[in-house]
A = this chain, B = another copy of it.
Amino acid sequence: MSAGSRASWRTPERREAAMAMALQGVTSMVNAGAMSGSGNLMDFLDEPFPDVGTYEDFHTIDWLREKSRDTDRHRKITSKSKESIWEFIKSLLDAWSGWVVMLLIGLLAGTLAGVIDLAVDWMTDLKEGVCLSAFWYSHEQCCWTSNETTFEDRDKCPLWQKWSELLVNQSEGASAYILNYLMYILWALLFAFLAVSLVRVFAPYACGSGIPEIKTILSGFIIRGYLGKWTLLIKTVTLVLVVSSGLSLGKEGPLVHVACCCGNFFSSLFSKYSKNEGKRREVLSAAAAAGVSVAFGAPIGGVLFSLEEVSYYFPLKTLWRSFFAALVAAFTLRSINPFGNSRLVLFYVEYHTPWYMAELFPFILLGVFGGLWGTLFIRCNIAWCRRRKTTRLGKYPVLEVIVVTAITAIIAYPNPYTRRSTSELISELFNDCGALESSQLCDYINDPNMTRPVDDIPDRPAGVGVYTAMWQLALALVFKIVITIFTFGMKIPSGLFIPSMAVGAMAGRMVGIGVEQLAYHHHDWIVFRNWCRPGADCVTPGLYAMVGAAACLGGVTRMTVSLVVIMFELTGGLEYIVPLMAAAVTSKWVADAFGKEGIYEAHIHLNGYPFLDVKDEFTHRTLATDVMRPRRGEPPLSVLTQDSMTVEDVETLIKETDYNGFPVVVSRDSERLIGFAQRRELILAIKNARQRQEGIVSNSILYFTEEPPELPANSPHPLKLRRVLNLSPFTVTDHTPMETVVDIFRKLGLRQCLVTRSGRLLGIITKKDVLRHMAQMANQDPESIMFN
């Protein structure tokens, strides 16, 4: 389309057709079918090559190209929709398919979350006993159905029998205790063994939390099967098993993975999403939001989590759709009502007491603790995971899981705070002590003369139970901290939210009780005098537990706004945003002071995924010329010329290199860039031409220009490959600062970028080169970037 040819455009139609022709270079022939009207302008190859436009496994997608392909598809449907009623309806269906997919994802993710909750509830109780009336009832369901129980002894109902009662008819005594202990360990081992075996045999991708991989996939990487149907099934089943086994892990991260699998499954039903990797990732972003929504009962927090933590490309349309999916999922889960409290999570709480400015100090202390825990956890966990990868340890994943489960069960059972499920523990720690509370944590010494309404209990001195609980909590805290480091990263589904929150909640509750007792016994101290009079209810230890949980979760994941919003949705009140935020900010600052990476980024680096983090700031003064290939001393760049190479030359080049594509230049002397050809498409085009076109032999000249080159009379028929040529490759000059190049790669989602000076091609920068350079500048081992 030179200046001369433009003059020949007479009618708008021809112009449009010619433009469309030119666009083919970008859209890579996928929609060539739509072009059949402009016959005289067509290339030799009428049909699109099969498989063009899909990517290979462990490769990076080109966001610009995917977007352009979707626009083409959309344009085609819009123009067709005017032809007939049927096409119009089809275009409407296409426009609505996004909402339908969101609805389906919400429904399935909510249902799965409900089923998982119910199954975990039952199987956790199965470790302690069984319901005689129906073995599939959990402890609570069993006792609810038996009529004779009153509120007080709802924990002791005849239909629910501990294993010792059932097997040897003893409910008390040392032998009963030991029998129950053994049954607890056995069930835990059975569940864990089943889980790890299922993962090993059927779906190796089902292990871990999945969030690092989902972040990588959403940034444009292809990992086939990671979001497949088998992964969905096995992850759901094994998640129930591992959570029930009592291991120190949570279901929240894996639920995000499960929701993304749902998203991938439903997007494969609609060609709009299944055939476009960019559009598919929009669906997956929304699915991640739905996953967090059901994990925490926080639809808004889920959307923000997806936006802040997981997603890469998040247009406003996706924001709105994510919100819809998150809401549908939350309401589905609510209709299932797995916890019987009309709430979406086990640990929903509502406080009614205000907090005071002076309390900010312990809250900030908890933030510091959360930051330190985050740093400690990330360092130790990464060190352990690296050891697992590099030593013989990694060869026995089943044994590892069995050993860790056994240790967990043996140590956890004697301590009431580790024996129960972690969610229940968090729930108890978050709860304020009411008048009817039977927990050890609420064993305060009541003033017999005081007659007040039950919901406004003043601060009281701690009783024996509270002191016992403090010791047990301290032991449980140490145990949780250590065992979580070894648990996260094993070959089973494992989330990190719940253990982190548990660590923070335990620390927070202890601090809270400490402050409460201090305030009770020292009303006259200056710090307490202004806000805590005798007989007042000034300190809420449950609030401290919640603040601690937020701090620890923030320290590990480095979430900020989404964390506070999730916590805000848990408590349902704006009042506590300031304490939560103070703790979250402190925790992030403290943790960031020791290392910028959150646990997910650390695992991404550990696994060497090519992930270009939006949050990292690149501030070095290097230039594109320092990063591009070929470097000085390396062989020159492999290029194609526009009209002087033979089929054989190109085939040899393809065979001898493994580059993803080749720049096309005018000639080797001038090195002026005219375009870029993808390896995959070159191979397909040549293969197709050799099979279908007559006269194409090894020494046929390949040309990328509009007109065939002038050849000697007896030379074989030339092969036109303009169609596989991307006429608008992305270029930067060699003087472009790498900072700008990194920004371009991030924002436009490029795979590669060509480097020129004064129009001459100098080299190429791929995403991998950028990542390697960034690792190098950060003094990391650049070879840790493995894939692609």
Contact = CB atoms under 8 A, between A and B. Distances in A.
A3 to B, nearest CB: 7
Contacts of A3: 632
A740 B619 CA distance: 27
A748 B759 contact: no
B319 A561 contact: yes
A25 B735 contact: yes
Nearest to A3: B632
A16 B74 CA distance: 49
Contacts of A578: 327, 331
A732 interface: yes
A114 to B, nearest CB: 17
Contacts of A320: 560-561
A672 interface: yes
Interface string A657-673: 00000000010000011
Contacts of A687: none
A52 interface: no
Contacts of A316: 308, 560, 614-615
A423 interface: no
Given A736-B728, A759-B673, A619 B71 contact: yes
A1 interface: yes
A398 B682 CA distance: 70
Contacts of A759: 672-673, 756, 758-760
Interface in A546-593: 560-561, 564-565, 568-569, 572-574, 577-578, 581, 585
A569 B632 CA distance: 60
Contacts of A6: 625, 632
A56 to B, nearest CB: 24
A739 B16 CA distance: 15
A532 interface: no
A701 interface: no
A622 to B, nearest CB: 6
A23 B740 contact: no
A176 interface: no
B743 A748 contact: yes
A569 B574 contact: yes
A256 interface: no
A572 to B, nearest CB: 7
Contacts of A748: 743-744, 747-748
A715 B251 CA distance: 79
Chain A at the B interface: SS class: helix
Given A560-B320, A672-B759, A728-B737, A1 B300 contact: no
Nearest to A585: B324
A66 to B, nearest CB: 12
Contact of A728 (B573, B577, B740): B740
B735 A728 contact: yes
A736 B68 CA distance: 11
Contact of A739 (B71, B303, B324, B733): B71
A728 B733 contact: yes
A375 B68 CA distance: 31
Contacts of A573: 572
Contacts of A319: 308, 560-561
Contacts of A397: none
Nearest to A620: B75
Contact of A735 (B16, B68, B727): B727
A734 B673 CA distance: 12
A19 B621 contact: yes
B71 A625 contact: no
Interface in A307-355: 308, 315-316, 319-320, 323-324, 327, 330-331
Given A23-B623, A740-B68, A303 B727 contact: no
Contact of A737 (B26, B574, B632, B734): B26
Contacts of A7: 632
Contact of A577 (B327, B622, B675, B737): B327
Interface string A13-31: 0001001101101100000
Interface in A695-727: 727
Nearest to A72: B621
B623 A19 contact: yes
A87 interface: no
A674 B760 CA distance: 11
A564 B619 CA distance: 39
B581 A324 contact: yes
Contact of A729 (B16, B299, B733, B739): B733
A731 interface: yes
A680 interface: no
A300 B568 contact: yes
B731 A731 contact: yes
A64 interface: yes
Interface string A42-73: 00000000000000000000001001100100
A140 interface: no
A626 interface: yes
Nearest to A319: B561
A59 B564 CA distance: 39
Contacts of A632: 3, 6-7
A68 B300 contact: no
Nearest to A297: B574
Interface of A: 1, 3, 6-7, 16, 19-20, 22-23, 25-26, 64, 67-68, 71, 74-75, 78, 299-300, 303, 308, 315-316, 319-320, 323-324, 327, 330-331, 560-561, 564-565, 568-569, 572-574, 577-578, 581, 585, 614-615, 617, 619, 621-626, 632, 666, 672-675, 727-729, 731-737, 739-740, 743-744, 747-748, 756-760
8 contacts: A7-B632, A22-B623, A22-B735, A26-B736, A71-B739, A300-B568, A316-B560, A323-B560
The 9 closest A-B pairs by CB, nearest first: A759-B759, A727-B735, A728-B736, A672-B759, A747-B747, A672-B758, A320-B560, A728-B733, A71-B619
Given A26-B737, A572-B573, A666-B758, 10 more contacts: A1-B623, A22-B623, A26-B736, A308-B319, A323-B564, A331-B578, A569-B574, A572-B574, A731-B731, A759-B760
